[in-house]
Amino acid sequence: MSKWYPKKGRVIFHVDMNSFYASVEMAYNPELKGKAIAIAGNPEERKGIIVTSSYEARKKGVKTTMPLWEAKKLCPELLVMRPNFDRYRTASREMFNILADVTSFVQPVSIDEGYMDITDCQQLGSPLEIAEAIQNRIASELDLPCSIGIAPNKFLAKMASDMKKPMGITVLRKRDLATKLWPLAIEEMYGIGSKTAEKLYKLNIFTIKDLVDADTFQLKRILGINGERLQNRAKGMDTSPVDPDAVHEFKSIGSSETLPQDTIDFIEIRQLFTRLARNVVRRMQRKQAVGRGIQIMVKYHDYKTITRSRKLPDYTDNDGEILAVSMDLFEKHWNEEPVRLLGITVQDVAEKKEVAQQLDLFTYEKEASKEKLYKTIDELTEKYGENPFKKLGGKGLDVEPRTSFQKDFLNDYQRIDRKNKS
């Protein structure tokens, strides 16, 4: 690197570790290198689910969330290992330390990926040389492979990092969109899942280029405001910043209501809590958010106010679960005096798209076992316009897969980063 290159416009990196869990195991035990290995929740049971696998296993057809028995059938020589989460956390922290040596503008989005803004980076070399230096350092110091996308914004950088794996570096400029991005199938676009893709198929949108050329009104009709947002990203437009503090943001969504008159009627109190839980969930759904802290507020007839809260083990946007926790908190702390106002607030809220996509092992197996049930619920909901099971009372059915380990890592990162800054 002979000189510093001034940048024209933003230069964003997306650093994505390749087959992270499996790669960490290979780095820890070099004898595993070159072999077909997989990380699974319960290797001793055939009903286990594949969490991740090495590229050697993937070449044989082994995929994430595949039942273990099916993976073994496709790849008889597959070595199946239990996860070592402490090992993965350690490797991830070291990786992010390397990124932080290049620029302070680093935004982790999960345990194995993050964005970097190197626009004003004073390191010598072109963006491509800086990316190569990062990739080589991670490989030499941690013995781990990664792919890096280089682009003028976060969305294009994310798409670029997926274009060459493992150990790839891909530059995606706006002038390259017509040849590199737009020919891709629509389901390959970041932010478009299988359900969204099915809706787009009905509009004859099968490639990203089709999305670019689609009628914006039609997109908004079937996808709401997200339709226009996706189209703008397909056109290469994304102004969202690389925000190092995004991992520190703790948002909340709440709803409160004053009763017509002070009451000690438990049925009336529960009815209000039910209404508040539904209001909160509606607001969360509009923001495409989930949360894992629940707080209730109780204002008594004499205006004395108390708040009580509980941290959940997983993220949720389920009104039944929110109601159940709220009622439990109320019953434990109510002094049986007349109540004037009640409130429910969901705390530690995050956007679904920003919550890490890899589920923890136990959630993988639980959600996979419910897949047929979810499909039936989706079909009934589409036919009748509302989830019919929500009318049956109780806690309802939580059909939104949740995360735990990945988000826990972000919380760890937050604590460490704050400690370093203090």
Distance between CA atoms of residues 101 and 357, nearest Å:
26
For residue 263, being part of any structural domain is answered with yes
Query: Are 63 and 368 in contact, with CB atoms under 8 Å apart?
Result: no
The Cα–Cα gap between 352 and 179 comes to 30
Q: How confident is the model at residue 57 (pLDDT cuts 50, 70, 90)?
A: very high
Same domain, 402 and 335: yes
Any known ligand binding at 112? yes
For residues 256 and 372, membership in a common domain is answered with: yes
User: Using alpha carbons only, what angle is made at residue 28 by residues 24 and 34, rounded to the nearest 5 degrees?
Assistant: 75
Structural domain count of the chain: 4
What are the tokens at 155?
């969305």
Mean pLDDT (whole number) for 218-226 = 90
Tell me if residue 113 is catalytic.
yes
Is 86 labelled as part of a ligand binding site? no
pTM for this predicted structure:
0.64
Q: pLDDT higher for 322 or 83?
A: 322
161-171: pLDDT as tens digits: 999 999 999 99
Same domain for 222 and 349?
no
Q: What is the pLDDT of residue 418?
A: 55
pLDDT at 412 over 70: no
| 397 has pLDDT over 60 | no
Identify the pLDDT of residue 193: 85
pLDDT tens for each residue of 233-256: 999 999 999 988 776 554 688 898
Using an 8 Å Cβ cutoff, are 310 and 294 in contact? yes
Residues 200 and 94 in one domain: no
| Residue 241 domain-assigned (yes or no) | no
Tell me the pLDDT tens digit for each residue of 74-112: 999 999 998 888 899 899 999 999 999 999 999 998 889
Range of the domain at 130: 12-19+86-176
Q: Is the pLDDT assigned to residue 393 strictly greater than 50? A: no
* Confidence at residue 175, expressed as pLDDT on a 0 to 100 scale: 94
Which CATH number characterizes residue 319's domain?
3.30.1490.100
Residues 47 and 163 in one domain: no
* pLDDT band, very low/low/confident/very high, at 348 (cuts 50, 70, 90): confident
- Output the domain CATH number for residue 113: 3.30.70.270
Give percent above pLDDT 90 in the chain. Answer: 59
Same domain, 189 and 284: no
pLDDT at residue number 205: 97
Give the residue with greater pLDDT, 19 vs 5.
Answer: 19
Within this chain, do residues 384 and 284 fall inside the same structural domain, yes or no? yes
Judge contact between 146 and 99, C-beta under 8 A. Answer: no
Q: Which residue has the tokens 């106002």?
A: 341
In a domain, 97, yes or no: yes
Among residues 60, 54, 52, 65, the alpha carbon closest in space to that of 76 is found at 60
Measure the CA angle with vertex 373, ends 372 and 378; round to 5°.
100
State the Cα torsion 282-287-290-294 to the nearest 10°.
-60
What is the reported pLDDT for 394?
Answer: 38
Average pLDDT over residues 328-352: 90
Q: Name the β-bridge partners of 108.
A: 114
Quick one: pLDDT at residue 144?
A: 97
Task: Please tell me which residue in 113, 257, 336, 367 is annotated as part of the active site.
Answer: 113
Given pLDDT bands bounded at 50, 70 and 90, which one contains residue 357?
A: very low
Flag whether pLDDT at 210 surpasses 60: yes
* Over residues 286-292, mean pLDDT: 82
Q: Mark which of 194, 212, 234 sits at the end of a domain.
A: 234
In angstroms, the CA 18 to CA 24 distance is 10
Q: What confidence tier does 2 reach under pLDDT thresholds 50, 70, 90?
A: very low
Q: Is 125 left (phi over 0), alpha (psi -120 to 50) or beta?
A: left
**Least confident range of 273-287, 336-350, 384-398:** 384-398
Instruction: End-to-end CA distance of the chain: give it in Å, rounded.
Output: 34
Beta bridge partners of 258: 341
Given 157, 176, 195, the domain boundary residue is: 176
Is there a domain that residue 168 lies in?
A: yes
